[in-house]
Amino acid sequence: MVHLGFYRHDDSFAHRLDPRVKILATILLSILILQAQEWEILLLSAFLSAVCLIARLKLAEIRFALRPLAWLAALLFGLHLFFTEGKTLLQMPYLPVRITEEGLFRGLLISWQFLSLALSGIVLTMTTAPSELVGGLENLLSPLRRIGVPVQDIAVMVSLALRFVPTLLEEFSRIKTAQLARGAELETGRLDRRMKSMAVLLAPLLFSAFRRADDLAEAMETRGYARGPRTSLHQLRFGGQEALALTALGFLLSLVLASKYYL
């Protein structure tokens, strides 16, 4: 079972890439996605789909990883659909709420941007091992050491945060299954009862998160973890595959800029 933030071991072109290139590509794609309009988001979505095929990521895995974010995408769509001024498409009866043409377009665009942004992060975490991610972040942030920024500590914290996301999702699923077995109305019944039942899940989930964090801190102390400079087992190298990936990114950037200014 694949959750958001899990690393999927494979030997694809995307898995073999230098983590620095993948991190920079994710940052560039995120900026382009946030600035994209209709033609740009279609182009970026096609590029992300091609990357998923190259990385050998299955559609079911991507869909399962995006599932926890679907409700937030739906919320963004609804907010823009009902609260954006413009040309009226449908007036809700007995309610001061109307659906506008601009709201429909804006809602679709924002929710699409959000899911594309999440997909770019999912591809990064699924194709990059946590140790490689730490090494790549540390290397990219290394110039900040000159001004006293604890680069290695930041890289470790980011790696731990990414690792805890699938762990907490898995724990939430386990607690939810246990509550359903005890008769909790989490998926059926009235909305207010389901909301109250969902609130009951927060206490054991927070307790589990604090317990896991305490266990992790003890494990790191037992293994002699300390702040300061550390060596790396694997040295990062830039080769032909990385040059090919950067060339593809440059081509994508030129297409997006061309569509933005000339279409």
pLDDT tens, 37-95?
878 888 999 999 999 999 999 888 888 888 878 888 988 998 888 888 877 777 767 66
* pLDDT band for position 230 (cuts 50, 70, 90): low
Q: Check residue 117 and give its pLDDT.
A: 92
Distance of CA 22 to the CA centre of its chain: 14
* pLDDT band for position 193 (cuts 50, 70, 90): low
Q: Where are the domains of the chain?
A: 1-149+231-263, 151-227
The three-point CA angle 14-234-141 to 5° equals: 80
Q: Check residue 2 and give its pLDDT.
A: 47
Q: Check residue 255 and give its pLDDT.
A: 87
Q: Check residue 257 and give its pLDDT.
A: 83
Q: Check residue 218 and give its pLDDT.
A: 87
Q: Check residue 263 and give its pLDDT.
A: 62
Q: How much is the average pLDDT of 220-225?
A: 80
Q: How much is the average pLDDT of 215-219?
A: 85
Does residue 60 come out as left (phi exceeding 0), alpha (psi in the -120 to 50 range) or beta?
Answer: alpha
Q: How much is the average pLDDT of 232-261?
A: 84
Q: How much is the average pLDDT of 200-217?
A: 83
Question: Does residue 1 have a pLDDT over 60?
Answer: no
Q: Check residue 5 and give its pLDDT.
A: 61
What percent of the chain is predicted at pLDDT more than 70? 87
pLDDT tens, 110-153?
999 999 999 998 899 889 887 788 888 888 888 888 888 888 77
| Contacting residues for 165 by C-beta, under 8 A, at least 6 apart | 3, 4, 5
| Contacting residues for 21 by C-beta, under 8 A, at least 6 apart | 238, 242, 245, 246
What percent of the chain is predicted at pLDDT more than 90? 18
More confident residue, 97 or 105: 105
Mean pLDDT computed over every residue of the chain = 82
Q: Which of 175-179, 203-207, 232-236 has the lowest mean pLDDT?
A: 232-236
* SS3 per-residue string spanning the chain: CCCCCCCCCCCCHHHHCCHHHHHHHHHHHHHHHHHCCHHHHHHHHHHHHHHHHHCCCCHHHHHHHHHHHHHHHHHHHHHHHHHCCCCEEEECCCCCCEEEHHHHHHHHHHHHHHHHHHHHHHHHHHHCCHHHHHHHHHHHCHHHHHHCCCHHHHHHHHHHHHHHHHHHHHHHHHHHHHHHHCCCCCCCCCHHHHHHHHHHCHHHHHHHHHHHHHHHHHHHHHCCCCCCCCCCCCCCCCCHHHHHHHHHHHHHHHHHHHHHHHC
Q: Check residue 25 and give its pLDDT.
A: 92
Q: Distance (Å, rounded) from C-alpha 28 to C-alpha 173?
A: 33
pTM of the model: 0.77
CB 135 within 8 A of CB 234: yes
Q: Check residue 112 and give its pLDDT.
A: 92
